[in-house]
Amino acid sequence: MYKPTAPGTWKGRVDAHDGEEGKRWHQGIKLLNLTDEPEAAVATQAIALLGFCCDEGVRRNQGREGAVDGPAALRQAMASFAWHLDEDVMLSDAGDVFCTNQNLEEAQKQLGKKVHALLSNTYKTIVLGGGHETAYGHFLGIKQALPEGQQLGIINFDAHFDLRSYEKQSSSGTPFLQIADDLAAASIDFNYLCLGIQQAGNTQKLFNTAESYGADYVFAPALQVYNFQNLQEKLQQFIAIVDVLYVSIDMDVFAAAYAPGVSAPAALGVNPEVVLLLLQEIINSGKLLTIDVVELNPKLDIDNRTAKLGAALLYHVVQQWSQV
Ligand SMILES: N=CN[C@@H](CCC(=O)O)C(=O)O
Ligand SMILES: [Mn+2]
Ligand SMILES: [Mn+2]
């Protein structure tokens, strides 16, 4: 269920005549094998990518399958980024966890183990999804790594709450209710802020669940650069009450013009600029523990637009996160 990334996977443009000055991500990234427990990160700033090749949650949620190929498409979209990282920064690719035989629950457990291995060895972790069922597996690792007494904050950029009932089965629509219930069982608060909610994309039942679980949210039409001061205030209030942050970026939060390659595109979704500004606020808080990008479906993408957007956001995340 786990495979390290094969040598040669990262490839792209080479400016050989420019030497070190021509360096790109595919030439600087290190491959990290998590088959055994990784060694503690040696670099001052160690960032690791980990793929979750899975769309079983999307299938179970009546969505359009294809997110299983999200990690490969994101790697490809990142490969030729110019290298502007400081010398003390190590960027690693820790391979992929796969979902086999539709066994989502086992795949999520395996993802949790690998996330825990990275976090407990001081890697700043970036999980490449996968449908939004990625979030529950990601959380299993966060929960194990969370120091006792620390408050976890979850910020989800998403058109949807993903708070559906998992009584019959879990899916890409249920991860944050699973997380809320797991936290409640461990007497830990569920601090959940959802940014970019589409009213038309969430039934009254979901709004009621959000309310009963104390979830906070901002509708997509309010997630605009001109409203940034209000957004910043709301974000800062949320960040102030927690110790560490888990951020999830569901690519369907963006307008379909920017992100056509998702199971459930949002015609009136948000613009990327405001998300980038909010990510910068989050990273500057110094509380970001781990992040994922989910729901990219390369089969439905147009000219790799969605993959390139996810990758571009991660470029800025890596650049800024490596400095805090
Ligand atoms: N991952 C979540 N997906 C959405 C899908 C909504 C739709 O298909 O319109 C959800 O369950 O709410
Ligand atoms: Mn989602
Ligand atoms: Mn969504």
Task: Output the average pLDDT for the chain.
Answer: 97
Minimum-distance ligand 1 atom for the alpha carbon of 161:
12
Per-residue pLDDT tens digits for 6-22: 999 999 999 999 999 99
Instruction: Identify the CA nearest to 182 among candidates 132, 141, 242.
Output: 141
Give the binding-site residues of ligand 1, using a 6 Å CB cut-off: 61, 63, 132, 160, 162, 164, 172-173, 201, 264
If one counts every other C-beta atom within 10 angstroms of the C-beta of residue 324, the result is: 12
What does the H/E/C string look like for 40-54? Answer: CCCCCEEEEEEEEEC
CATH ID of 2-321, from 3.40.800.10, 3.40.50.920, 3.40.50.2300, 3.90.1300.10:
3.40.800.10
pLDDT score for 40: 81
pLDDT score for 74: 99
Using CA atoms, how far residue 269 sits from 25, 64, 87, 119, 181, in Å, is 30, 18, 38, 32, 29
**86 known member of a binding site:** no
In whole angstroms, what is the distance from residue 32 CA to residue 39 CA? 10
41 forms bridges with which residues in the sheet?
Answer: none
Q: How far is the CA of 295 from the centre of ligand 3 (A)?
A: 7
**292 known member of a binding site:** no
Structure tokens at 32: 């990290």
Q: How far is the CA of 7 from the centre of ligand 2 (A)?
A: 32
In whole angstroms, what is the distance from residue 201 CA to residue 210 CA? 14
Q: What is the mean pLDDT of residues 69-76?
A: 98
Q: What is the mean pLDDT of residues 169-186?
A: 98
In whole angstroms, what is the distance from residue 17 CA to residue 1 CA? 41
Structure tokens at 79: 């490969």
199 contacts 222 by C-beta, under 8 angstroms = no
In whole angstroms, what is the distance from residue 221 CA to residue 268 CA? 8
Per-residue pLDDT tens digits for 214-273: 999 999 999 999 999 999 999 999 999 999 999 999 999 999 999 999 999 999 999 999
Q: Look at residue 201 and tell me whether its pLDDT is greater than 80.
A: yes
291 forms bridges with which residues in the sheet?
Answer: 126, 247
12 contacts 80 by C-beta, under 8 angstroms = yes
Q: Strand 89-98 to strand 2-3: parallel, antiparallel, or no bridges (unpaired)?
A: antiparallel
Q: How far is the CA of 290 from the centre of ligand 1 (A)?
A: 23
Which residue has the CA at smallest separation from atom 11 of ligand 1? 173
Q: How far is the CA of 57 from the centre of ligand 2 (A)?
A: 11
Q: Which of 248, 263, 297, 300 has most ligand 1 atoms within 8 Å of its beta carbon, as the pocket-test mutant? A: 263
> Domain residues of the chain, as ranges?
2-321
Q: Which residue do the tokens 């620390």 mark?
A: 150
pLDDT score for 44: 81
Which residue has the CA at smallest separation from atom 5 of ligand 1? 264
316 contacts 282 by C-beta, under 8 angstroms = no
Q: How far is CA 205 from the centre of its chain?
A: 26
Ramachandran area for residue 134 (φ above 0: left; ψ -120 to 50: alpha; else beta): alpha
Rounded to two decimals, the ipTM of the complex is 0.98
Instruction: Identify the CA nearest to 161 among candidates 123, 195, 212, 119.
Output: 195
Q: How far is the CA of 264 from the centre of ligand 1 (A)?
A: 6
pLDDT score for 62: 98
53 forms bridges with which residues in the sheet?
Answer: 98
Backbone angles phi, psi at 321, to 5 degrees: -65, -30
Q: Which residue do the tokens 């999980």 mark?
A: 127
If one counts every other C-beta atom within 10 angstroms of the C-beta of residue 150, the result is: 12
pLDDT score for 278: 98
Model confidence at 39, in pLDDT bands (50, 70, 90)? confident
